Structure 1
């Protein structure tokens, strides 16, 4: 498993480096170079992730039936092609088309990579391996963000085009790295509905709960920066310090936290504790607006992000174990594709929801958001038990049908 893990990690690191450069520069490229409005960019990206969310399950099913390595390679190449196509965009309609292609390829690639991981790694080690990949991803994002920062400093069309070229080359490189992995045979065709995950109500509930928890992503990337700029006395550079703390925390501690999760009981407990810690983080963020001292506000914000990182680590470790364990071995692709729609939905709906909630309601909004995290965390253990009971009766039902 050692060589496979190193190869998976290398592919994740290369792809996320391109992602990091793209994420910090894309908005300014589309508005400043292409000439679209911020509203057009927001609508286009929202539509792109919406289409990607719909495509995740069928592309994951394709990975199950055709083999996850080949599908992952093709989708990495498709992502590279989509990124390169942004160079040709000059108006809103083609931008939407490319954004949809990008969102589809990215969501499908995530599902195929999870299916590939499940095919190469024994169940007992999947969460730990997934944690190692997450650490590599955050490291790559940090490196890519630094490259993107250089382009922002130059602020020229050529610099932004160079970022797109780097991003496309990174996904091309990731595809080549994935080819070094052994092929995982396609799952055998079994009786029952083709997209069984769409009828698995317990798994849908678990996915919904995880989606609520994933609202920490737009909270950290959008709401906290807006809160710092508009409601606190902290200097604006605090945003960079907080994001650096978050990235470093995931890189350094994700694997350690994941090692403590050994089965569904540990995973459920981990998500429940994540909800409690996220509630505490929201309370601390709310306190950061009190007073006029920049240093005090900065210290409170750092404490809030430290709590958020702990919650993120606990959530990720528990959610990975739950998503893999509750999925049938022959349907990991479609199940991971469905579970991954939570990320797309949080990115798509979270900004508008949290902006209204926190920036509109202030301290009360922070507390409401924290209670949402707490409620989702508390709801996960019974939802997992329900899903586990459904898995326990499935073999009996199938046997009865066959006889």
Structure 2
């Protein structure tokens, strides 16, 4: 009876030091494919490829979603104010005082009065709906993203009552160039003795802008302030004052300070109220995509577990011999844990490299695919942006790596535990 106890492993406490060189040697020896174990090795390779694809896909998708969010916000907030001041129930004719007061508030970068309305832009060749925005020319060139992204024209001509700056895509749809005339027709007409006559203004295109966002490049017209006030018949009033902040994410404190500086009678709203749905939609989509794509790693981890279980069954005789030679259950468990986790670690590392490489060159790869397929895979009319953005967030990459490694380790514990529970007597009896 005493001789059988060491063999069965019930009382022997011997074994190697945890994760010693012997355990690593045994683990990699078991991972090498033999004729009888070829199928097991194929499953392990499939698991490695699955984890690589899962990790790489997660990093790429998270980076693209981050890029979309940053590009959308930078363009939306670059063309629109972070905070808008309006006056309810009266004409906003003290806008210069409001703008000067707002500029003196801490955290405010700029304050620009605007006149905004809808119009139909027509040329000799075509017509298109547009948002018409009247701005002070100096403020437009200095503070507005469109004024800083002029691709054609002379901004020194942007003044008076007959000048206009339009998006390059709108110019393309109207088939006009710098120097051509565009006719703007307002929705509200002028009442006369013969009925309502459409109110219109003919302007000359003095500049084209390209901010890289389809919605704005194809639908915005900027006029000097006096031209917009004449067109919309606002007199000396404006629609509102747009305020740009140093920190767009902290609008609550800025709105409180601006409201205190201006006093009662003004209504303040921030960009979240106008465009917050974009941020919310992107955040929800990013979270859902993370959960869905994590399932790829889960499936690969299940493959690792199944391959390790099959390996344990195939190596039962070898495990029994190791046990009779003095290997402890802990040693056997660590050997098979190293087998499974090695696949996960290597797959995660390869996925990390592939994901970073793909994310950092994704727009170049997209252009190559467009050239090969002869089509536009990333149409600006659909995705609003003219290029495929990607921004790698190191915190998110670390989270993806940790999730992949955690899943791998968790799904490796069970087969390693089964290997440690192999009874040498039973394993050798039926060999």
TM interval, short-chain normalised:
under 0.3
Q: Which has the larger strand fraction?
A: 2
TM-score, normalised relative to structure 1: 0.26
Select the structure with the greater relative contact order (CA < 8 A; seq sep ≥ 6).
2
Q: Which has the larger helix fraction?
A: 1
